[in-house]
Amino acid sequence: MGGWNTADMPDQSGRIIIVTGATSGLGEATARALAAAGAQVIMACRNEIKAQAAARTMPGDVQIRQLDLADLNSVRAFADTVERADVLINNAGVMAVPKLATADGFEMQIGTNYLGHFALTGLLLDRISQRVVNTSSITHVIGRIDLEDLNWERRAYSRFGAYAQSKLALLLFTYELQRRLTLTGSDKLSVAAHPGYAATEISSETQNLLEQIVGLGNRLIAQSADMGALPTLYAATAEVEPGAYYGPDWFNWRGHPTKVGSTAASHDEKTARQLWELSERLTGVQFRV
């Protein structure tokens, strides 16, 4: 697997792939590479003007559809437009923002990064033929799932704590979805990926002095969005293991895709089941798995 890049990606002709958050950064790089490889790419984006600008730079068959993961009505409306797809890439996200609420009253990061994607996956799963790819983060290692206060209503709010919780939730979801798919005999795959440390717009939206530190790190350490997208592209197109997690091969920070590990907390099956049940209650979306 060492050195895998877009030149090694199989021909994607005939595949329909949904990419959330495809207007910039990792999502845009992912969508562009898939379109160049022949896939029909559905860019699921909140900002249609930015999506149109990004789409004009992409080759091949690219469609734009409106999706705001911070609004479950928007998630349902988008799902209604999808007849079928081969792959769903849950990429969109916000990072370390001030305490805000989604349209449904969820804390913004758990609501956008996790609950919105949970609902989207549940609504589309019977129309996804091959695999679901969730974009997590190395920051999941500091994440803690508080099932009694998922939306930070009683805890002192922590921007990075909330971000890390959302990314840990995505891993718990990935592994639990694969367990349920396997139990039902489905050949669909649930896999996860992370970009390592990639310089993208999401890291410039923290809205505080930390932006200066992040900006310095982007210049000195971070890899490009194109490199950061490789683990997601690998997870979406290559021969992968069910329920596996892929990231950069150089200490999880940068490099080419490889299978990576995740924390014991991400493999806690009891927490995963409880989080799944809570997520179904919060979103009103019941999985047919």
Q: Which amino acid is at 113?
A: N
Tokens of 93: 């996200």
CA distance 266 to 256: 23
Q: Rounded CA gap, 234 and 237, in Å?
A: 5
Contacts of 247 by beta carbon, 8 Å cutoff, 6+ apart: 138, 193, 194, 195, 196, 231, 257, 258, 260
Residues linked to residue 87 through DSSP beta bridges, in sequence order: 17, 131
- What's 37's DSSP letter? T
Exposed (0-12), middle (13-18) or buried (19+): which is 213, by Cβ within 10 Å?
exposed
Q: Which two tokens stand for residue 274?
A: 């409880």
Helices then strands (H, E): number in the chain? 10, 8
Residues serving a catalytic function are: 163
Task: Print burial letters for 162-173: b (CB count within 10 Å at least 16), e (below 16).
Answer: bbbbbbbbbbbb
